[in-house]
Amino acid sequence: MHLDAVDLKEFYACPLGHVVRRLLDTRLRAKWSDLKSCRTFGLGFAAPYLAPFREEAEPLGALMPARLGAILWPATGQSLSVLVDDTELPLIDEGADRILLIHMLEWSENPRELLRELWRVLAPNGRLLLVVPNRRGLWARLDTTPFGYGSPFSRRQLTRLLKEEMFSPEDWEYALYMPPFNWRILLKWPRFWERLGLVLWPTFSGVILVEATKQVYAALPARQKTKMRRRLVPVPAGVTPSALPRE
């Protein structure tokens, strides 16, 4: 079971969603401090986290998988959101320098095929940043947030999956230590909970963040099946998976 784009938008509009975004934004900006001239894309529901990079990354796109549906992003100006098939991304080979994967891997029906497609579109010196629910954490056990749906991962499981699909995990972090509730007393001091969790229970976070690079020396032959890549199509708010264009 998974949520859709409208559910995710509503979560990030609530107080707890605002706190989650601020905490993860800090981690993301620390890893990607300068994206000038970087071709940057987010796959899943990454729009809230791509917003800070709109003035520097070029191009920038929020790739929203058909199973989740898509919303218009940003609310004004040219749309940067695109409805896609996550195993046939409308990007050229090695066409991305940075890819953020969030609210995606844990819901994917075929995570290996998804990662192989990301390997195809990532440049040799590019970086893939994954944010996934931590199997050990409380957030994966409760459905009060989007991180409580799908299949969470342990660090060992994620390491094995990435290596088998020709990625090298290089930088690990843990985040979201506060309980996943919209309680004022919790939301008032989120950074206190982060510091406390890092000291007392560092591996029991809500999410795991891992940055990985592409193993170009271990490349396997591409699949023999010929694919027709779907073109990028800006989508209006409320578009459903059935509206995915086909050629």
Question: How does pLDDT run across 88-118, given as a tens digit for each residue?
Answer: 999 999 999 999 999 999 999 999 999 999 9
Our count of domains for the chain comes to 1
Give me the CATH number covering residue 24: 3.40.50.150
Q: Would you state the structure tokens that stand for residue 170, as one six-digit string?
A: 């290089």
Domain with 38, as residue range(s), is 5-243
Q: How high is the pLDDT of residue 2?
A: 74
Q: How high is the pLDDT of residue 37?
A: 87
Alpha carbons 46 and 55: distance in angstroms, whole number? 16
Q: Would you state the structure tokens that stand for residue 126, as one six-digit string?
A: 């590019």
pLDDT digit string (tens) for the chain, length 247 residues: 678 999 999 999 999 999 999 999 999 999 998 899 899 999 999 999 999 999 899 899 999 999 999 999 998 888 999 999 999 999 999 999 999 999 999 999 999 999 999 999 999 999 999 999 999 999 999 999 999 999 999 999 999 999 999 999 999 999 999 999 988 888 888 899 899 998 999 999 999 999 999 998 755 544 544 444 544 444 544 554 444 444 4
Q: Which residues of 119-133 are buried (b: 16+ CB within 10 A; e: fewer)?
A: bbbbbeebbbbbbbb
Q: How high is the pLDDT of residue 183?
A: 87
**Strand ranges in 24-143 using DSSP code E only, listed in sequence order:** 40-44, 60-65, 81-84, 96-102, 122-133
- Chain segment 3-14, per-residue pLDDT in tens: 899 999 999 999
- Half-sphere exposure for 158 (CA within 13 Å, toward CB): 25
Contact 231, 247 (CB under 8 A): yes
Give the percent of the chain with pLDDT over 70.
87
